[in-house]
A and B are shown apart, each in its own frame.
Chain A
């Protein structure tokens, strides 16, 4: 939709351009920003002009650039995890057409419980790299970066630069399960296993990592079951348990 209060759009070409003026917000794919009224936003700063690579192979990590689209991320060198990434991308309610435009960084920064890139990267033990307005860089696990429904640790002026998936996770066994009220609808529960960790998203307001070795106690201790029109919390808790046990069984198989 049109953002009627927006009167300026500028391309960021260097880090210095990321200093936001009053009313400015960063624009990546725009698929969420343009999907809801944004009455307080008066200016857009386009990150896609920074030319960040979609992905880079770092010595100890696969780095996904924040402006990498959901379509591009499926082409990254995931090795044995290629199928898992594809399942995570398909888990979006958004269509493959939106995936041409929507970005990994945008999905992370939204902090939605059903954010499929949050599910994927949190489960793989990835960390975000955040550029602070003071010119610093800070890192944080995705599982800690997302703190609740629509909430992250991102502070005003901070920009998500990339998410780094550790190489060890690329080689670890992985498993994926999801469910939703409608077959291809918005996720009600997403459970992804990697190595010996089972990560719950969508059914909880923030990512919750559980140990395969102590799964039942971990499930019982979850205190942030999510309640929205995409599933009642008691059902979410129940099906999460089912999916988590399936994932755990697949990991140790």
Chain B
């Protein structure tokens, strides 16, 4: 085989796929995204024809010419397609980019290139929402190589990403590394009565089989927060009780992955199957099987282990009953959301080893290296300075990598064997056994007077955290926070509980609970507006918080939140006028109904109770600068912003700034890249350090000059998003087409308009996925959608273009007036779509995703289109 023009001497194994062979011979630019031919990240050319190399038998490549993305061009000599992706900012995390570049290069000049949606239906991108990729394919340039704050500076890693030179977590030579394979539970609830590893250990090349007998007797949580007490200690690294299908039972370590896989099948486990519960309502009822009934509520911080309740809140301000009684119109309904997977193209994976000093080192795909370090030290009984955790560029996160899912067992194996060990989860493991978005059932009851002023707002939430309580508490409370606080209303009540079930665990997901609750509240308000004959945008205007208002959920107002730089009024105006301008696209045909919908959302710019970042900036004698910062780059664009901040402060070019990030050795501490903090917290620390360097230089201090910056996230602001959409729905098939999509965002001052637009578009696209397509189908605790073939991540053809508009505001708390904007754009999309469907069909959807089959069923419940846009419908629940 010749690869990129050079002969490869190695011989493929009989069952090896071409991707593994290529990576094993040093071609680490070929990425593993799904391993089943669905995502396209591993695309290479074989004798000029593009193939998904994960499906291609390696032996068949013998005698052929293989070209990878690195063979198409180099940073100094880009292929035209690579250049186009740089110029257009056609990537965010960049893990899918090699596949796009190779596919586009192969298609260039052929018939299929004229039809990008068909051409790229075998390539998935989770970050961008595809607009920037389509720009790259069309040759539109969106970025500049150099520039200051407010300019569309390209990502520092752009040239490396498009040429396959940027190393991700596991893009390291496979030399002297042991591989781990996990044995997983086939039962939803069972006690392990025996594990016999003798057959596995007898296989040549097997080095260890770790079971619950080998792990520290320490309970912890896979969820990571600045304060580890935020999450219940309910998880053992390997337990003798399994509480969901797919739970880790044993870890096999062997000299090759193939041996580890074969050995994993030879571990004999005997189970005593226990009763299981899958429905969250049943789980909190008397007599339900208890998942963590053996644990102490105080020690493990579980609300009511005797009732499967991890956390609960039942509080009220004002008098909701009186508010409803006094209302001119009320509405009540119940909404449900599905399980959704993050679908970051890079799966969870880590490699661990001991450095020369005997220190444990973990290179891992994480959003929170410092938090992983601290928890590894806690679980393994080590001092934190005996552990180093670093992340390379991370191939997508979306909250999924605010968990410690692989690092713990890898670390244990490294300490046990003293050799490097690697674990990479498969896509099937990602889909079937790692945390997903919390499915919720949300009931809302709301009332308003004749002028549309809210008199009462009551929310009742039931969240299913699955078998473990990672992020259960935070997601529940955050979900009910900004969603409810957005509206001024004297009487509010929140009843909220999150319960254990024997389903796959839920975890942190973009929006952190807000999207689920906002879906319900924004749907209810839309219906209330119809009842009152008030346009939905106007109803929001009359009720949203304004500068000077307290931010109230269900008790005393928040004291650390301030409406600095308020842009919600602008966002509402921008969306309203955009929809009024309309695109005048007529319905696709008879039988189609057209409707429009809007929804608003609010999110704090920083998580509560502290989010810390330390950073350093050094101005070198040669005029270049070096940043040391803890936060990770996973497509969120914080690396670009950090470089821009330093370049601006020091008056140097972005290309003269080096970034050392996401390494516990790089700086003192950083809580991590979650809660949309990459720009406002870590960026704030970087900006402070850069300003101090600039001041010292002005004072005549000799170079090099190093200064530190620090942020604690104690004062927080609020960011706003309003989504508007016009849809057509075919009543006879349930097909939905988006005729117009617009989102207005209040992100404070825009630091990088192209990057910010990309963040909004990516969030909106993920919103379209959750609203219309995506669902982990689970029966009796077993995930049935175990590949991307069955789990519908939006393709290019599924994502409409969204007009992105920015409010003109300035936040006093963020660097250069900026707010965060990474989770937020996702949150209002589903309710805006649901409201548009209601407008079109005359009947309201209550469940996500609104797939064609569900919309068809919904349409069949009403006989004809509504007479007017704002009629109250007799099929709706009313009082």
Contact = CB atoms under 8 A, between A and B. Distances in A.
B396 interface: no
Interface stretch (B112-120, B289-297, B318-326, B485-493): B112-120
A181 B54 contact: no
A239 B735 CA distance: 11
A207 interface: no
B558 interface: no
A97 B51 contact: yes
B784 A44 contact: no
A97 B853 contact: no
B59 A232 contact: no
Contacts of B857: 232, 234-235
Contact of B121 (A7, A9, A184, A236): A184
Given A44-B14, A184-B797, A96 B20 contact: no
Contacts of A101: 51, 55-56
B146 interface: no
B87 interface: no
A39 B15 contact: no
Contacts of B40: 95, 97
A182 B122 contact: no
Interface in B12-49: 13-17, 20, 35-37, 40, 43, 49
A51 to B, nearest CB: 15
A172 interface: no
Nearest to B37: A35
Contacts of A39: 265
A30 interface: yes
B777 interface: yes
Interface string B55-73: 1110110000000000000
B128 interface: no
Interface stretch (B255-263, B450-458, B710-718): B255-263
Contacts of A44: 14-15, 57
Contact of B119 (A46, A96, A228): A96
Given A98-B122, A235-B852, A6 B14 contact: yes
Contact of A97 (B14, B103, B791, B856): B103
Interface string A1-25: 1111111110000000000000000
Contacts of A4: 15, 257-259, 261-262
B853 A181 contact: yes
Interface in B608-652: none
B36 A27 contact: no
A184 B799 CA distance: 12
Contact of B792 (A5, A37, A182, A239): A182
Most buried by B among A27, A46, A183, A242: A183
B732 interface: yes
A183 B122 contact: no
Interface in B836-879: 851-854, 856-857
A43 B123 CA distance: 31
B480 interface: no
Contacts of B734: 235
B262 A5 contact: yes
A98 B14 contact: no
B36 A36 contact: yes
Contacts of B122: 94-98
B831 interface: no
Given A9-B15, A182-B773, A95 B123 contact: yes
A184 B879 CA distance: 43
Contact of B798 (A5, A31, A35, A182): A182
A4 B252 CA distance: 15
A183 B118 CA distance: 10
B94 interface: no
Interface in B476-531: none
A56 interface: no
Interface string B789-831: 1111011011000000000000000000000000000000000
A151 interface: no
Contacts of B123: 95
Given A34-B54, A186-B789, A230-B790, A2 B15 contact: yes
Interface residues of B, number: 63
Given A95-B121, A98-B52, A181 B15 contact: no
Contacts of A96: 112, 118-119, 122
Contacts of A231: 852-853
A156 interface: no
Interface in B224-278: 257-259, 261-262, 265
B785 interface: yes
B55 A34 contact: yes
Interface string A64-108: 000000000000000000000000001001111110110000000
Contact of B117 (A41, A179, A184, A186): A184
A101 to B, nearest CB: 6
Interface in B387-415: none
B435 interface: no
B36 A229 contact: no
A185 interface: yes
Interface string A233-249: 01110110010000000
B50 interface: yes
Contacts of A185: 792, 795, 798
Contacts of A37: 428
Contacts of A90: 118
Contacts of B375: none
B733 interface: yes
Contacts of B261: 4-5
Contacts of A235: 734, 852-853, 856-857
B733 A242 contact: yes
Interface string A123-139: 00000000000000000
B841 to A, nearest CB: 15
B856 to A, nearest CB: 5
Contact of B797 (A6, A7, A183, A228): A183
Nearest to B798: A182
B445 interface: no
Nearest to A186: B789
B576 interface: no
B754 interface: no
Interface string A162-199: 00000000000000000101111110100000000000
B773 A31 contact: no
Contacts of A2: 13, 15-17, 20, 257-258
A236 B851 CA distance: 13
A48 to B, nearest CB: 8
A90 B60 CA distance: 26
Contact of A181 (B35, B103, B426, B773): B773
A97 B773 CA distance: 24
B775 interface: yes
Interface of A: 1-9, 27, 30-31, 34-37, 39, 41, 43-44, 46, 48, 90, 93-98, 100-101, 179, 181-186, 188, 228-232, 234-236, 238-239, 242
27 contacts: A1-B54, A2-B15, A2-B20, A5-B15, A34-B17, A35-B37, A44-B57, A46-B60, A94-B122, A96-B122, A97-B103, A98-B55, A100-B49, A179-B733, A179-B735, A181-B792, A184-B121, A184-B797, A185-B795, A186-B789, A188-B852, A188-B853, A229-B790, A231-B852, A231-B853, A235-B734, A242-B733
Interface of B: 13-17, 20, 35-37, 40, 43, 49-52, 54-57, 59-60, 103, 106, 112, 117-123, 257-259, 261-262, 265, 426, 428, 732-735, 773, 775, 777, 784-785, 787, 789-792, 794-795, 797-798, 851-854, 856-857
Given A4-B258, A232-B857, 5 more contacts: A90-B118, A98-B52, A101-B55, A179-B735, A235-B852
Question: 9 smallest A-B Cβ distances: which pairs?
Answer: A95-B122, A6-B15, A3-B15, A235-B853, A9-B14, A4-B258, A4-B261, A1-B35, A232-B853
